[in-house]
């Protein structure tokens, strides 16, 4: 899926939701990011053509992901936070 962070940097990433964080990994750019669930303020989902646009507000800025099934990502985050 494609990610755009608050600085406007776009990258192709894989996401993994764990009990305490969302790990974002880009093998093509040899990059990894960790978003602590405690840093999440809000999540929002909207349509972007045939894909979902998931926007998360964090204590450190905004991150957007474009993916096919955004609701499953939001559900995984909510389960981990609960």
Query: Which pLDDT band holds residue 11 (cuts at 50, 70, 90)?
Result: very high
The predicted-structure confidence for 13-40, as pLDDT tens digits, reads as follows 999 999 999 999 999 889 999 999 999 9
Tell me what the mean pLDDT of segment 6-18 comes to. 95
The predicted-structure confidence for 34-61, as pLDDT tens digits, reads as follows 999 999 999 999 998 999 999 999 999 9
Determine the distance from the C-alpha atom of residue 13 to the mean position of all C-alpha atoms in its chain, rounded to a whole number: 9
Count CB-CB contacts under 10 A for residue 47: 9
- pLDDT greater than 90 at residue 82: no
Query: CB–CB of 73/54 below 8 Å?
Result: yes
Domains along the chain with CATH numbers: 2-81 (2.30.29.30)
Burial of 53 (0-12, 13-18, 19+ CB in 10 A): middle
pLDDT score for 28: 87
């Amino acid at each position: 899926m494609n990610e755009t962070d608050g600085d406007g940097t776009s990258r192709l990433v894989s996401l993994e939701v764990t009990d305490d964080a969302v790990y974002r990994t880009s093998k093509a750019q040899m990059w990894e990011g960790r978003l602590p669930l405690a840093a999440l303020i809000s999540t929002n989902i909207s349509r972007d053509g045939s894909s979902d646009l998931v926007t998360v507000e964090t204590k450190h800025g905004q991150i957007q992901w474009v993916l096919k099934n955004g609701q499953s990502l939001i559900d995984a985050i909510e389960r981990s936070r609960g």
